[in-house]
Structure formats: C-alpha cells, structure tokens
Amino acid sequence: MDWVVEPFGKHHERGGFSCGKSMLDDFIRARVSQYEKRRLGKTFVAVLKGAKNVLGYYTLAAGSVSVEHLPSSASRKLPKHPVPVILLARLAVDRSAQRMRLGEGLLLDALQRSLDLSAGLGVYAVEVKAIDDAAAKFYRKYGFAPLLDDRLHLFLPISTVENQLG
C-alpha cells in the first residue's frame, strides 16, 4: 500500500471512516476539527498518495503521568512529581486497510514525531491508554509497558524510542 502520513486538514474525506470502534470513528468523523481548532491535540492521517480518504489516523497531545504510577524501575531516579509525556491519544485504521501494517506504520510515525518533539521539549515517555486488551497487546509488542494504575494505561520511555529509532 502506497500511503503517506500528513497533518489533518479539512479537505480530508473522513465521513466513511470505520475502524470498528465507535468512539474512534466518531472522533475522526465529527470531532477532530474542534480539537484542532482548540489545540487540544494534533491529528495526523494516512491517505493513499494523491487521495483524500482517511485510511488511518493518530492524535498526539501533551500530558503528564504521576510518578506513583510508574514502575519502581522507572521512577527510582525521577523527582516525586508528575513527569511530562506525549499522549498518543488515539490510533485507528479503517477496516479497508486493516491487516496491512498501517497501524504499525502510524505508530512508528507517531513515535518518530514524539522523538523529534523531545529534542526541544522535556518529554520522559510516550503514554497511551489502550481502548481494549487487543490494543494493549498491539502496543506491548512495540515495547510499551503497563503503568501501575491500570493494565491498559501504558508507557514507552523516550530513551527507548530513541534507541529503537536512532
């Protein structure tokens, strides 16, 4: 599949997007423009080169994680206040593009973008709140580890991203 990832724009066709999770479908169909306008998150979409139909997307936002929620191996040398993270708020792939490794491509793009942001901003990790067990399994495959507050609340230290992506 010959797709590209680009910042969301109003020209992108998203009305038919369906990943199988109504919350994620509703966001890209009806809410993304308001989130962009209010700077609550930045969404990036995957489209075929030269096309406008959204095949997948992810949203990044600023966040923090309570140091008490980090495993002791991660929190040992950290100050005892919330640590800055980049929240991978959403990641979804349209049913027509599932099982084509687009989810992996979107995740790697999000991690690279997070690494690039960390060069000019304090970022300890990338955080994700997986929508279900299948999503958590997907993220764990790429090195995300659970936080102590919820098995679906995961993180990946930015130092690990740097080691993986160089």
Active-site annotation, residues: 139
| Residues 160 and 148: beta-carbon distance below 8 Å | no
| Residues 28 and 92: beta-carbon distance below 8 Å | yes
| Residues 113 and 44: beta-carbon distance below 8 Å | yes
* CB-CB neighbours of 37 under 10 Å: 8
| Residues 136 and 152: beta-carbon distance below 8 Å | yes
Cα of 117 vs its chain's centroid, Å: 14
DSSP secondary-structure letter at 10?
T
* CB-CB neighbours of 160 under 10 Å: 17
Contacts of 144 (CB under 8 A, 6+ apart): 126, 128, 154, 155, 156
